[in-house]
């Protein structure tokens, strides 16, 4: 992958992000530029309700594209965010329901296992979402990003679907 001037591949998702110094999340492994773009996307969602509709998918997509290193915290993070993507994208669940299901599954976290991250975490990244200029474009990009991220984890879909089937409504 050739980098654009001033851009580097994110160590998490692989997207071309600004080559900057700065903070990162403590276990969602990313480059500082990627974490900054994600923060900008979240700020837009939190401050403009027109961008809020796909927030659940934004958070889930970013988390599964930045799985980090094997630890109890990263195992739980990847598993519950994949569960949410499965519920929303495959089962058509309301995002609020997916959030409640995630909370219920955290209480059963002993069933979670390390899911080896795929070589590619999806072709669409937070950088693509950050480039959206309208709320409609943002929503379309977030849904495409979520589908791309979920598809990347296909080798583990049956495990995640099993968790989705065990969610207590």
Return d(Cα 68, Cα 10) in angstroms, integer: 12
Residues facing residue 18 across a β-bridge = 7
pLDDT, position 2: 42
Q: Is 8 helix (H, G, I), strand (E, B) or coil?
A: strand
Digit-coded pLDDT (tens) for 32-91 = 999 999 999 999 999 999 999 999 999 999 999 999 999 999 999 999 999 999 999 999
pLDDT given for residue 147 in this prediction: 98
Helices (H), 48-156: 55-65, 72-85, 95-106, 126-130, 135-152
* Number of helices and strands in the chain (H, E): 7, 2
User: pTM (2 decimals)?
Assistant: 0.94
Q: Which residue ranges make up each domain of the chain?
A: 7-165
pLDDT in tens, 98-111: 999 999 999 887 88
């Amino acid at each position: 992958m050739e980098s654009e001037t001033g851009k580097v591949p994110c160590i998490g998702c692989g997207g071309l992000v600004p080559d900057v110094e700065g903070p990162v999340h403590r276990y969602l492994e990313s480059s500082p530029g990627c974490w900054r773009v994600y923060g900008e996307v979240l700020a837009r969602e939190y401050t403009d309700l027109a961008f809020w509709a796909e927030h659940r998918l934004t958070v889930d997509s970013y988390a599964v594209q930045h799985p980090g290193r094997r630890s109890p915290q990263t195992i739980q993070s990847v598993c519950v965010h994949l569960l949410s993507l499965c519920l929303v994208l495959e089962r058509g669940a309301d995002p609020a329901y997916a959030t409640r299901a995630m909370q219920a599954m955290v209480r059963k976290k002993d069933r979670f296992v390390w899911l080896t991250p795929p070589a590619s975490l999806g072709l669409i990244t937070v950088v693509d979402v950050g480039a959206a200029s309208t709320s409609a474009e943002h929503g379309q990009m977030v849904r495409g990003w979520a589908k791309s991220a979920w598809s990347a984890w296909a080798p583990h879909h049956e495990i995640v679907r099993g968790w989705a089937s065990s969610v207590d409504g």
